Amino acid sequence: MENGNFVFEWNEDKAEINLQKYNVSFYEAAAVFDDPFAVVADDKEHSINEQRFFIIGYSNNNRLITLSYTERSKKIRIISARLANKFERNLYEN
């Protein structure tokens, strides 16, 4: 999937599980990369086999989402996405 300057990929089975578990589709979640105020940071806790990041931003449905991803071959591979929790909302807003 392409979104502006970004090319996204993900595992379709994982995307369906994510949608069922968190009610957030990877299509919606990819829109957080368009949020000019998005917060991006290293996800050191989950960067064991590969470098991972998280981004907190608003989707095109005006929901604040936390998305976990990695970069592979100039593509953004989405790992998981869910609504931001209170701590993450605070990071975004401050």
Collapse the DSSP code of 72 into the 3-class scheme (helix H, G, I; strand E, B; otherwise coil) and give the result.
strand
Report the domain count for the chain.
Answer: 1
Q: Give the global pTM.
A: 0.87
- pLDDT digits 0-9 by tens, 35-57: 999 999 887 676 677 789 999 99
Q: Which residues contact 73 (CB under 8 A, 6 or more apart)?
A: none
Q: Where are the alpha helices (DSSP H) in the chain?
A: 12-22, 26-30, 86-93
Residue 43: both structure tokens together: 């996800």
Residue 29: partners with Cβ closer than 8 Å, 6 or more residues away? 59, 65, 67, 78, 81
Contact present, 76 and 53 (Cβ < 8 Å)? no
- Asked if residue 4 has pLDDT above 70, the reply is no
